[in-house]
Structure 1
Amino acid sequence: MFLGTHTPRLDEKGRLILPARFREELSGGLVLTRGQERCIYVFSMNEFEKVHEQMRAAPISSRQARDYNRVFLSGASDEVPDKQGRITIPPVLRAYAGVDRDLAVIGAGNRAEIWAADAWDSYLQEQETAFSETDEDVFPGIT
């Protein structure tokens, strides 16, 4: 499970050193792809296969499902971390997420997310009020 917030920097070659806490789960390979809210999703290979199976279950007759699949999968890149735990973020994903040098890598349960640090700060500031006001209807049993 991916948890926490980490603030690594991208090097001049577009490489990111994965947070130490994430390396074991991602050591066998991972998939980077476009995430919602203009971040980059990071899935372990196993988790990506589960997500892909769920996507395949959507009817091909659904235009929204076809559109989502195209955007999600066309930006996907499979990577294997090097011995230092580094991965390269492809230019198309860096541009999509507005990622430059300063990053926020957050744990989101079944995936990690890579954000431009300023975009993450803005998003978090906007969402913290809504978070504190979330009621039980959204997450039954969580108080």
Structure 2
Amino acid sequence: MLLGTFVPKLDEKGRIILPAKFMGDFANGVVMTRGQERCIYLFSQREFEELHERARQAPVTGKKGRDFLRMFLSGAAEDMPDKQHRVTIPPMLREYAGLDRELTVIGAGNRAEIWDTASWNAYYEATEAAFADTDEEVIAGLF
């Protein structure tokens, strides 16, 4: 499970060093794609394949499903971390997420998310109060 918050830097070649504690999940390759709220989702190769297999079960007749899969899969890129645990974020994904040098990487359970730090801070500030004030069940059976 991927957990925690990390603040790596984006180098001049568009690479980041992945947190060492994530390397058990990412050692056999990663898949990056567009995330929601303009972040980048980072999945292990295995997790992405399982996600894609589930997505393939959706009917192609539903427009929302087609739209989601087109956005999700057309932005996907595979990479293999190097010996320094670096992966290269493709220019299209860097542009999509508005990435600058300062990044925030969060563990989100089955994936990591790569955010521009200013975007993450704005999202966190806007969302934290609602999180603290939650008084109803948001995820069935969680609390």
Does the TM-score normalized on the shorter chain lie above 0.5?
A: yes
Normalised to the residue count of structure 1, the TM-score between the two structures is: 0.96
Give, as a single letter, the amino acid of the residue that structure 1 aligns with 2:34. Answer: R
* Cα displacement (A) at 1:141: 4.7
Give the distance between the partners of 1:13 and 1:42, measured in 2 at CA: 18
**8 A contact 1:136–1:142 mirrored in 2:** no
Q: How do 1:98-113 residues align onto structure 2 when only pairs under 5 Å count?
A: 98-113=98-113
Consecutive unaligned residues of structure 2, counting only runs of 5 or more, are none
**8 A contact 1:33–1:77 mirrored in 2:** yes
SS in structure 1 at match of 2:92: helix
Deviation >2 Å, runs of 4+: 139-143
Give 2:132's aligned residue.
Answer: 132
* Cα displacement (A) at 1:59: 0.6
Give the distance between the partners of 1:22 and 1:77, measured in 2 at CA: 18
Give, as a single letter, the amino acid of the residue that structure 2 aligns with 1:124. Answer: Y
Give the distance between the partners of 2:40 and 2:115, measured in 1 at CA: 7
Give 2:80's aligned residue.
Answer: 80
SS in structure 2 at match of 1:8: coil
Normalised to the residue count of structure 2, the TM-score between the two structures is: 0.96
Report how many residues are paired. Answer: 143
**8 A contact 1:17–1:84 mirrored in 2:** yes
SS in structure 1 at match of 2:73: helix
Consecutive unaligned residues of structure 1, counting only runs of 5 or more, are none
Give 2:7's aligned residue.
Answer: 7
Over aligned residue pairs, what C-alpha RMSD do you find?
1.1
Q: How do 1:27-38 residues align onto structure 2 when only pairs under 5 Å count?
A: 27-38=27-38
